[in-house]
Amino acid sequence: MMAWIKVLVMVACLFPALVECRVRHYKFNVVMRNTTRLCSTKPIVTVNGRFPGPTVYAREDDTVLVKVVNHVKHNISIHWHGIRQLRTGWADGPAYITQCPIQPGQSFVYNFTITGQRGTLLWHAHILWLRATVYGAIVILPKLGVPYPFPTPNREVVVVLGEWWKSDVEAVINEATKSGLAPNVSDAHTINGHPGPISNCLSQGGFNLPVEPGKTYLLRIINAALNEELFFKIAGHQLTVVEVDATYVKPFKSDTILIAPGQTTNALLTADLGTGRYMVAASPFVDSPVPVDNMTATATLDYSGTLSTTTTRLTTPPPKNATPVATTFTNSLRSLNSNQFPAKVPLTVDHNLLFTIGLGVNPCSTCVNGSRLVGDINNVTFVMPKISLLQAHFFKISNVFTDDFPGNPIIAYNYTGTQPTNLRTMKGTRLYRLAYNSTVQLVLQDTGMIAPENHPIHLHGFNFFVVGRGLGNFNPKTDPMNFNLVDPVERNTVGVPSGGWTAIRFKADNPGVWFMHCHLEVHTTWGLKMAFVVDNGEGPNETLLPPPRDLPKC
C-alpha cells in the first residue's frame, strides 16, 4: 500500500503545475538510439531514447533527484547548467572536475535543491563531445502562488537549439585531437532536434509551433549547440525578452535574439497577426575569420485555422558577421532589479583579476603541422586531472592540482594588437583560491592570438553580474568609471566580444571547486578552462557537504 502511494506521489510530481512536491524524482537512462536526421541514419547517445532529452520540471525550493543509469559504452556525466548547487558541488557534473564519470553499467543519483532561482536552464552531458545529443531543458517555476513579474502567458513552449553532425561526433573530435587541427564544423543547426524543411533533405519536416490568434506564448529558448552562437528570429513577430539564464530582466522588445551556447532566454510572443504561417530561424553568429556551419535551422509558427495551401512567410536571418545586431541585443540586457528581485551587485572587490582568453599553438611531433592548436586562460592550457578536483580538494589528496593560477597575465602585451611571434602556452592543472564570501571582479580579455573570437564563458556554481564590456584592451584606469553597478544583467554564461573584454563581478558564497570555461566545446577541448576553489566559511551552512555514497570512482 505505502509503495503504491509513493509511486503515485512520484508520478504526480512530474506535473508541477498541478501539485506541490518538494522532492522531484527523475530517471535518466542513457541509451543509444538510431535516428534519421538530414536523411542519414545513425546511432546517437540519448537520455531515455529522446532527442532532445526530457524536460526537468521543478519549482523554486524543490529538491531534484535524478538517477542516471549508463547503458552505453561511453563514460558519462550530466551537468545541470546554471543550477547554483549551494554546498552540493558533488551534483554539478563536469567529469574530472566535481566527479569521476559514471562508467558503463553504473549509475549515480544527482541530488540538489534549487535555491533562489526560477526560469529556464538546461542540462547536458559534461564529458567529451557527448552533449551534442545529450541535452534537455530545465524549467524552474516560481514558488507556488508567486506570479511572474510579467503578464501570465497562455502557454509555455520549450525551444532548444542544437547542432548536428552527419558523422559520429566523437569521431569528429578524435580526428581533430589526432591531427592538432580544428575539428569539422557541424552539418546543420536544429530547433527541437530538427534542422527544418529548408535543408538539402526534403523528407524532413520541422518543428511546428501551433498558435491561436491573440494569445501570448512564453518561449523558453535554449542554446545547446556545441560551438556556435546563434541568432533566433520569427518572421513578422517581435519578441519581448523577460529573463535570461534564470534571472529576470527589464522587458524589452527585439526581432532578433542572440544566444550563445549555454545561455537561455525567455521571451514572450504575442500571436497578433490573426492567421498565417511564419518561419522561425536559428542561424550562426560568428564575427571572426574561423570556419562556421552556415546552415539556418527553421521551424514554423502556425496560426490555427490557416489554410493548408497558405505559403510560409519567410524571414531573412542577420548575416553571420552581424556584430551590430549582436551588440544591440547584448546592450539591451538589464537586471529587473525590483524590490522583490534586487540586483545584489558586489560594490567592493577583494580579488581584482584579469584573465586573457584565447588560443595558442604548441609543438606536437605526431600532428599534421608538427603543431597543435590549444586554448588557454592567462597562458595556461588546462590539463584534465585523473581524479576529480573536488575529491582532491575535499579529501586533501596532493599532486592533483595547485592553487597558483595567475590572477593577472604573467607577460602583459597588447592583447588585441599585432599577434605576438611566440604563440606557445604552458600546461597546468592550476586553480585560483577564494575565501568564502570574498568578492571577485574578473575582466575576461579576448586575445588576437590566431584570431580574435567571441568566447561565451561559463562559470559553474555562481551567477555573476556583467558590469562592463568594450573593444580593444581593458583599461583599468578609465573603463571601471563606466561600469554599471546598479542594474547589470545577472547570468552564468557571457559572450566576450571578439577583440574585446567583458567585466564580471560575483561573490564567492558557494564552497567547492567550480569550473570556468569557454562554452564552445572545441575551445574547452583545447584547454580554454580553469577552476576556482572556494574554501568553507563558518558553520554548516557555509560548508561543502560530504560526498554522496554512490559518487562514481575513477
Per the CB < 8 A criterion, the answer to whether 276 and 303 are in contact is: yes
Binder of ligand NAG out of 9, 22, 43, 310 (CB under 6 A): 43
Sign of CA dihedral 345, 492, 152, 280: positive
Q: Which three cell numbers stand for residue 66?
A: 535524478
Separation of alpha carbons 347 and 417, rounded Å = 32
Separation of alpha carbons 27 and 519, rounded Å = 26
Per the CB < 8 A criterion, the answer to whether 58 and 102 are in contact is: no
Q: Note the residues at the interface with Cu ion (CB under 5 A).
A: 455, 518, 520, 523
What is the closest distance, in whole angstroms, from the C-beta atom of residue 176 to Cu ion in the complex?
15
Q: Which three cell numbers stand for residue 176?
A: 581533430
Nearer to ligand NAG, 103 or 288 (CB): 103
Binder of ligand NAG out of 215, 277, 424, 433 (CB under 6 A): 424
Per the CB < 8 A criterion, the answer to whether 381 and 526 are in contact is: yes
Binder of ligand NAG out of 12, 314, 426, 486 (CB under 6 A): 426
Question: How many chain residues bind ligand NAG (CB under 6 A)?
Answer: 41
Binder of ligand NAG out of 266, 425, 445, 463 (CB under 6 A): 425
| Residue nearest to ligand NAG as judged by C-beta position | 417
Nearer to ligand NAG, 40 or 208 (CB): 40
Binder of ligand NAG out of 100, 230, 343, 496 (CB under 6 A): 100
Report the 10 Å Cβ neighbour count for 210.
13
Q: State yes or no: residue 175 binds ligand NAG (CB under 6 A).
A: yes
Separation of alpha carbons 87 and 239, rounded Å = 37
Binder of ligand NAG out of 111, 177, 330, 484 (CB under 6 A): 111
Binder of ligand NAG out of 35, 48, 103, 306 (CB under 6 A): 103
Q: State yes or no: residue 29 binds ligand NAG (CB under 6 A).
A: no
Q: Which residues pair with 485 in a beta bridge?
A: none
Q: Which does 42 bind (CB under 5 to 8 A by kind): ligand NAG, Cu ion, none?
A: none
Sign of CA dihedral 79, 283, 228, 190: positive
Binder of ligand NAG out of 274, 289, 417, 476 (CB under 6 A): 417
Binder of ligand NAG out of 107, 294, 323, 484 (CB under 6 A): 294
Binder of ligand NAG out of 36, 40, 167, 331 (CB under 6 A): 167
Q: Which does 1 bind (CB under 5 to 8 A by kind): Cu ion, ligand NAG, none?
A: none
- From the list 375, 532, 404, the residue with the least C-alpha distance to 464 is 532
Nearer to Cu ion, 249 or 494 (CB): 494
Q: Which residues pair with 471 in a beta bridge?
A: 500
- Residue 71 makes CB contacts below 8 A (sequence gap 6+) with 29, 30, 31, 32, 104, 105
Q: Which does 43 bind (CB under 5 to 8 A by kind): ligand NAG, Cu ion, none?
A: ligand NAG
Q: Could you list the beta-strand ranges (E) of 447-522.
A: 455-459, 464-471, 490-491, 493-496, 500-507, 512-518
Ramachandran region, residue 321 (left: φ > 0; alpha: ψ -120 to 50; beta: rest): alpha
What is the closest distance, in whole angstroms, from the C-beta atom of residue 86 to ligand NAG in the complex?
9
Nearer to Cu ion, 68 or 520 (CB): 520
What is the closest distance, in whole angstroms, from the C-beta atom of residue 383 to Cu ion in the complex?
18
Q: Which does 288 bind (CB under 5 to 8 A by kind): ligand NAG, Cu ion, none?
A: none
What is the closest distance, in whole angstroms, from the C-beta atom of residue 172 to ligand NAG in the complex?
5
How distant, in Å, are the alpha carbons of 67, 139, 156, 366 from that of 216? 35, 18, 9, 57
Residues in region 360-399 near ligand NAG by CB under 6 A: 361, 368-369, 371, 379
Q: Which does 541 bind (CB under 5 to 8 A by kind): Cu ion, ligand NAG, none?
A: ligand NAG
Q: Which residues pair with 58 in a beta bridge?
A: 140
Name the helix (H) or strand (E) containing 57. Answer: strand 56-59
DSSP letters along 333-369, please? -BB---SSS------S-SEEEEEEEEEEEEE-TTSTT
The residue range among 95-103, 205-213, 241-249, 342-350 that interacts with ligand NAG, by the rule CB under 6 A, is 95-103
Binder of ligand NAG out of 16, 101, 206, 461 (CB under 6 A): 101
Q: State yes or no: residue 184 binds ligand NAG (CB under 6 A).
A: yes
How distant, in Å, are the alpha carbons of 229, 322, 356, 471 from that of 326? 10, 7, 22, 14
Using CB under 6 A, list all residues that contact ligand NAG. Answer: 32-34, 43, 65, 75, 100-101, 103, 109, 111, 167, 171-172, 175, 184, 294, 361, 368-369, 371, 379, 410-411, 414, 417-418, 422, 424-426, 436-437, 473, 537-539, 541-542, 545, 554
